[in-house]
Chain A
Amino acid sequence: MRTLALIKKEFLQFWRDPVLLVVVLWAFTFDVYLCARGFSLDIRGFPVAIYDMDRSQQSQSMIDHLHEPRFRQVKMISDPDEVDELLSTGQALMVVVIDNHFSRRLARGEPAEVQVILDGTNSSSTAQALGEVSAIFSQVSFSHTDSVNGSLRKTHLPVIMRSRIRFNENMESSWSVGLTELFGVITMVAILLPAAAMVREKEYGTIEQLLVSPLRSWQVTLSKIVPMTLLVVGFTTLSLLAVMGAAFGLYPKGSMGLFLVSTAIYVYACAGLGMLLSTLAKNLSQVILMLTTVLVPIMFLSGTWAPPEAMPPALRWFTHISPLSYYYELGTGIFFRGWGLKQGIESLFWLFILGGGMFVVGTTRVGREFS
């Protein structure tokens, strides 16, 4: 009964602070949307400048292959000094230089040279652009030689490999990125809110009032966590339906009920960690700095950013004690691989054990502060 009254008080506190509620809602919706939409590792309209000394039909037809969506021709230059200026200012990220023997060499059947100068500052997109341009030019030259010789050059390969992408057949990167961001938001909110609530009581000194009240420590902690769990689970559902579902077309292939249950368990695990931090800190400034230090390794060790198998063995071991790694497995399992209880039971078990452990540690620490 007393616990219920306290839960009601915490609920009221949420409702009476609409600004906080709006910010949390923003984290679950707009932030996830921006992330899923904005994360792209594919180049698009890569700015290219052309320095064509040959000015022949052949060189022109080759240049014509550098077009949207991958490339965008920004300038034709006729002076080698311009190359430096264009690349230094970033107006172009790649310059294609065709020397004046290009068409003559091709006509003679000699290999013709094309020089590609790239800005290597952003190495991953540079490597991608180089790969694309090599593929385009070699195709062009193949089709060119084919038409010259008039014979089919396609060599007969004895073995071919067909690859089939599973679980996310169209390779929608927004799906995994959006889901990862959502997990990040859940983690942050579920650690921060209970920690802030506890520290607030400390900063205000209202914790003394709770201390002398007939409430037990677990009742206090529970009352702080129950409303937050409902809030997070509710917002998660909203985020999945309105953002991931409606905007990006990701719907669970497996059991949504299982996902919500694991979310609730995961929120408890995070809340435990938040409680633990609140006992270590005196004020919210300390909490937030500790939180960022804790959050980054948690995200890393979950395998959400880097695959666990790529980590050094010592780090890899830690992924087994990170609740997020189990939650992440369950999440991707349910959304991509069609997991139900049968497939997810093992991860759920470990999530429960670890999450429960964290929750118990956190609340006992708070309890000790009480006595």
Chain B
Amino acid sequence: MSLTGSISTRRLKAIIEREFNEIIRDPLYLTLAILVPPVVMMIFGFGLALDIEHVPLGILDQDNTELSRAYADCFTQSETFETAHRYRDMEVLDEDLRLSRLRAGLVIPEGFERTVRRGGQATVQLQVDGTIPVRAQIIRSYAEAVHQHFLEQVLMQGRPAPPSARVEIFPKVWFNQDLRSANFVVPGLVATMLMFYPALLTTLSIVREKESGSIHALYCSPITKTELLLGKLLPYLGISLVNFVAMFALTLYLFAVPLGGSLLLIIVATSVYVFSTCSIGMLISVLVNRQVTAILTAVLVTLLPSFLYSGFFIPLSASSWSTWLIGRIIPATYYLDVLRGVLLKSTGWRFHWPAILTLLIYSLVIYFVSFKCFRKKLG
């Protein structure tokens, strides 16, 4: 057998047909394989767009004067905070924070009004649940905004405005002028889903036959390794491209992400990318002997890295070097660059051919490794 193995179109067609028949004769599986990825992407898309709102805030007003009530009212009237709870006792407030009935607590000290009227400085305390630091930061900055609002509207009325900063900054945002979050989240989801599902579907193809033993029939047939691997991979590549069409339609029409550049470029990049992610699944399928193991491995290898190390949330050029390094070995990183570039920056082939070439080489390497690892043998 030659290094790449010879390919007879007739036998390749037969393998593809067989795999396809197996898929088609399992209508539940086919329906799931076509529906699940776009549906999951939709749930993610809506879920990740959720903002911090209706934060349950407890207020303990130890002063209980006109001014302290005005201060508390600024928080009750804000959209961000939901203040159904007023407290009289520090311990009760503390306990409710501990029981996670509250996300934040505001304590207005005794003598608040007196201090302010005398020209002193009163200190209000805000306690924020820091369990999830990202949320705590947002809650804190919202509270500071409300506090600022109180200072300006209630206290500083009629006083001269503080001196304005001397350097004025004029920000200008390119490519995504309104900083719309869907424009950056949704392409990220397409990349993630197309890394996860193709690998997951392909990974069962060979290991399934290994587990049931039907692979022996193939071992002693004249089918070459290349024919088998390619024939097993192509049907799943097809399904994944169907998934892509659905997800891309959702991206453009449901999530209203603009398409700035060439559709053809996206299609080419996606085909190469999906080929690479199917190959990852194929490699796992060749290496392990049980379906459960293959599934778990595929999930671990594709899902988390594509979410956290592909530059999905923070551009790789603005993360630590180790993150950058891991990101560089994941195909999703390259694809996401192309996808976001073409959609939002309208960049063309000139910018993206290196990424597409990298993906192509990547796929061929993975494919070659699977080829090498796959032993066609009896027993």
- Asked if B209 CB lies within 8 Å of chain A CBs, one says no
A87, B347: Cα distance in complex, Å? 11
| B-side contacts of A158, CB under 8 Å | 116, 119-122, 151, 155
- Asked if A231 CB lies within 8 Å of chain B CBs, one says no
Indicate the member of B36, B97, B171, B340 with the most A CB atoms within 10 Å.
B171
By the criterion CB–CB under 8 Å, are A343 and B98 in contact?
yes
Interface size on B, residues (CB 8 A): 113
Question: A110-134 vs B: 1/0 string, CB under 8 Å?
Answer: 0111111111111111110110011
Knowing A169-B130, A196-B292, A285-B204, say if A125 contacts B167 (CB, 8 Å): no
| A-side contacts of B131, CB under 8 Å | 167-168, 176, 332, 336-337
By the criterion CB–CB under 8 Å, are A123 and B98 in contact?
no
| B-side contacts of A310, CB under 8 Å | 50-54
By the criterion CB–CB under 8 Å, are A166 and B97 in contact?
yes
By the criterion CB–CB under 8 Å, are A159 and B150 in contact?
yes
A171, B323: Cα distance in complex, Å? 20
What's the least CB distance linking B246 to chain A, in Å?
Answer: 15
Knowing A19-B289, A166-B128, say if A134 contacts B318 (CB, 8 Å): no
Q: What is the chain A residue whose CB lies nearest that of B97?
A: A166
By the criterion CB–CB under 8 Å, are B129 and A41 in contact?
no
Question: B129-159 vs A: 1/0 string, CB under 8 Å?
Answer: 1111111110010011001001100010000
A203, B36: Cα distance in complex, Å? 23
Q: What is the chain A residue whose CB lies nearest that of B207?
A: A284
By the criterion CB–CB under 8 Å, are B305 and A121 in contact?
no
By the criterion CB–CB under 8 Å, are B126 and A119 in contact?
no
By the criterion CB–CB under 8 Å, are A119 and B175 in contact?
yes
By the criterion CB–CB under 8 Å, are B151 and A121 in contact?
no
Among the 9-residue stretches B4-12, B179-187, B247-255, B269-277, the one with 4 or more Cβ atoms under 8 Å from chain A is B179-187
| Residues 281-329 of B contacting A (Cβ, < 8 Å) | 288-293, 295-297, 299-300, 304-305, 308-309, 311, 313-315, 317-320, 323, 326
A206, B140: Cα distance in complex, Å? 59
Indicate the member of B124, B134, B289, B305 with the most A CB atoms within 10 Å.
B134
By the criterion CB–CB under 8 Å, are B155 and A45 in contact?
no
Q: What is the chain A residue whose CB lies nearest that of B126?
A: A163
| A-side contacts of B28, CB under 8 Å | 281-282, 286
| A-side contacts of B204, CB under 8 Å | 284-285, 288
By the criterion CB–CB under 8 Å, are A309 and B54 in contact?
yes
Q: What is the chain B residue whose CB lies nearest that of A181?
A: B304
A292, B26: Cα distance in complex, Å? 18
- Asked if B166 CB lies within 8 Å of chain A CBs, one says yes
- Asked if A296 CB lies within 8 Å of chain B CBs, one says yes
A296, B303: Cα distance in complex, Å? 12
By the criterion CB–CB under 8 Å, are A115 and B170 in contact?
yes
Among the 9-residue stretches A26-34, A218-226, A235-243, A255-263, the one with 4 or more Cβ atoms under 8 Å from chain B is A26-34
A311, B53: Cα distance in complex, Å? 9
- Asked if A212 CB lies within 8 Å of chain B CBs, one says no
A155, B28: Cα distance in complex, Å? 69
By the criterion CB–CB under 8 Å, are A120 and B176 in contact?
yes
| A-side contacts of B29, CB under 8 Å | 283, 285-286, 289
A24, B290: Cα distance in complex, Å? 13
A266, B173: Cα distance in complex, Å? 47
By the criterion CB–CB under 8 Å, are A45 and B137 in contact?
no
Among the 9-residue stretches B39-47, B220-228, B360-368, B371-379, the one with 4 or more Cβ atoms under 8 Å from chain A is B39-47
By the criterion CB–CB under 8 Å, are B315 and A20 in contact?
no
By the criterion CB–CB under 8 Å, are A114 and B170 in contact?
yes
Q: What is the chain B residue whose CB lies nearest that of A338?
A: B98
CB < 8 Å neighbour of B169 from A41, A114, A283:
A114
- Asked if A4 CB lies within 8 Å of chain B CBs, one says no
By the criterion CB–CB under 8 Å, are B168 and A111 in contact?
yes
- Asked if B164 CB lies within 8 Å of chain A CBs, one says yes
By the criterion CB–CB under 8 Å, are B323 and A38 in contact?
yes
Q: What is the chain B residue whose CB lies nearest that of A171?
A: B133
A173, B137: Cα distance in complex, Å? 11
What's the least CB distance linking B111 to chain A, in Å?
Answer: 12
By the criterion CB–CB under 8 Å, are B326 and A93 in contact?
no
A116, B97: Cα distance in complex, Å? 41
| B-side contacts of A162, CB under 8 Å | 123-126
What's the least CB distance linking A39 to chain B, in Å?
Answer: 6
By the criterion CB–CB under 8 Å, are A121 and B340 in contact?
yes
Knowing A161-B124, A166-B127, A188-B299, say if A62 contacts B345 (CB, 8 Å): no
| A-side contacts of B314, CB under 8 Å | 40-44, 122, 124-125
CB < 8 Å neighbour of A161 from B126, B137, B180:
B126
A118, B184: Cα distance in complex, Å? 14
| A-side contacts of B128, CB under 8 Å | 163-166
By the criterion CB–CB under 8 Å, are A141 and B163 in contact?
no
Q: What is the chain A residue whose CB lies nearest that of B320?
A: A44
A281, B70: Cα distance in complex, Å? 60
What's the least CB distance linking A266 to chain B, in Å?
Answer: 18
| Residues 260-312 of A contacting B (Cβ, < 8 Å) | 281-286, 288-290, 292-293, 296-297, 300, 305-307, 309-311
- Asked if B244 CB lies within 8 Å of chain A CBs, one says no
| B-side contacts of A119, CB under 8 Å | 173-175, 345
CB < 8 Å neighbour of B212 from A90, A123, A203, A309:
A203
By the criterion CB–CB under 8 Å, are B174 and A87 in contact?
yes
By the criterion CB–CB under 8 Å, are A112 and B127 in contact?
no
Question: A122-155 vs B: 1/0 string, CB under 8 Å?
Answer: 1111110110011001101110110000000101
- Asked if A160 CB lies within 8 Å of chain B CBs, one says yes
Indicate the member of A133, A144, A288, A337 with the most B CB atoms within 10 Å.
A288
- Asked if B210 CB lies within 8 Å of chain A CBs, one says no
| Residues 54-93 of A contacting B (Cβ, < 8 Å) | 62, 87-90, 93
A310, B144: Cα distance in complex, Å? 20
CB < 8 Å neighbour of B172 from A17, A116, A138, A306:
A116
Knowing A38-B326, A158-B122, A343-B98, say if A23 contacts B296 (CB, 8 Å): yes
| B-side contacts of A89, CB under 8 Å | 351
Q: What is the chain B residue whose CB lies nearest that of A155?
A: B162
A residues apposed to B, CB below 8 Å: 17, 19-20, 23-24, 26-27, 31, 34-35, 38-47, 62, 87-90, 93, 106, 109, 111-127, 129-130, 133-134, 137-138, 140-142, 144-145, 153, 155-169, 171-173, 176, 181, 188-189, 192-193, 196, 200, 203, 281-286, 288-290, 292-293, 296-297, 300, 305-307, 309-311, 329, 332-333, 336-339, 343
A-B pairs with lowest CB-CB distance, top 6: A120-B176, A171-B133, A141-B167, A168-B130, A165-B130, A289-B32
A-B contact pairs, 15 of them (CB 8 A): A38-B323, A46-B317, A93-B315, A112-B168, A121-B315, A121-B341, A123-B179, A156-B121, A159-B116, A167-B131, A168-B133, A176-B131, A282-B26, A310-B54, A333-B100
Beyond A117-B172, A163-B128: 6 further Cβ-contacts under 8 Å?
A123-B184, A159-B150, A165-B133, A169-B130, A284-B292, A305-B47
